[in-house]
Amino acid sequence: MTALLNLENVNAFYGTAHILHDLNLTVAAGERVALVGRNGVGKTTVVNTILGLASLRGGQIHLGTHRLARPRPYAPAQHGVVVVPQGRRIVANLTVEENLHLGAATGRKGPWTVPEIYQLFPILQERAHTPGTALSGGQQQMLAVGRALMANPSLILLDEPTEGLAPVIVDQLASIFTRVADQGTALLLIEQNMSLVVRVAQRYCAMAKGAVVAEGAVENSRTGLERLEAHVMV
């Protein structure tokens, strides 16, 4: 089976700063993978390299059968890979519904439409004509996820999706991520909240010093949570 995302011996830089060192990472169709590790090990740089925001200077990135020779911010979505970015990046001068329509710009066909997003996130329908940045933090995160789904992706990269959110919102998002995955969309979850990881992910990849140093199955148990938390402290 062809992987939806395959990074092979990837080296990435910000200017002269070498951040990713021969990194290898694969996500297959339908998988739920968590990328874990302490702050500063390069997790977000993985996403930024795929988007062309960090400089790829070695190795290869494949999105399905397509080799991403020159990463650009718009390219992954054309091949079914979308990002829910850290900080959400809701467009300030657009309404909730207009932000959702931005996600459909690639023209990919699939099950996710505005009515389907509203069924998943009823609060967004209630506030459809409100400026997107007027929403609460949790609602903005729902909007960012809905916008990504509007691209009808095969894979969503979720970069710290619960950062700064109340536990009750984290619980809601955990259920939503699982529902989305159950409908066939693969997930790469970059997350510090290990209790969320054990609820959503099936497999983890632990990073240290710009490379994946360990991986394995996620155990939804206290022992599994403790093991994941130990990786974050590496």
Dist CA 78 CA 55 (whole Å): 20
How many CA atoms lie less than 13 Å away from 71 in the CB half-sphere?
Answer: 25
Summarised one tens digit per residue, pLDDT across range 23-82 is 999 999 999 999 999 989 999 999 999 999 999 999 999 999 999 988 999 899 999 999
**Section 5-22 average pLDDT:** 98
Query: Percent of the chain having pLDDT more than 70?
Result: 94
Q: What is the pLDDT of residue 192?
A: 86
pLDDT of residue 124: 96
pLDDT tens profile 168-193: 989 999 999 999 999 899 999 999 88
Residue 226 has pLDDT above 80, yes or no: no
CB of 186 closer than 8 Å to CB of 61 = no
The CATH number assigned to the domain holding 227 equals 3.40.50.300
If one counts the domains in the chain, the total is 1
pLDDT of residue 231: 65
pLDDT value, residue 225: 64
Alpha carbon distance 197, 39 (integer Å): 16
| Full residue range of the structural domain in which residue 72 is found | 5-232
Average pLDDT over every residue of 201-221: 90
In the prediction, which pLDDT does 100 show? 95
| CA pair distance 230, 224, nearest whole angstrom | 10
Residue 221 confidence (pLDDT) above 60: no
Q: Would the pLDDT of 153 be above 90?
A: yes
The residue with greater pLDDT, 51 or 92, is 51
The CA-atom distances, in angstroms, between 210 and each of 63, 113, 119, 166, 219 are: 21, 37, 39, 30, 25
Q: Of the ranges 15-19, 55-59, 221-225, which one carries the lowest mean pLDDT score?
A: 221-225
Strand partners, 34: 189, 204
- Structure confidence by residue, pLDDT tens digits, 122-133: 999 999 999 999
The mean pLDDT of the chain is 91
Q: With pLDDT > 90 as the criterion, what percentage of the chain qualifies?
A: 76
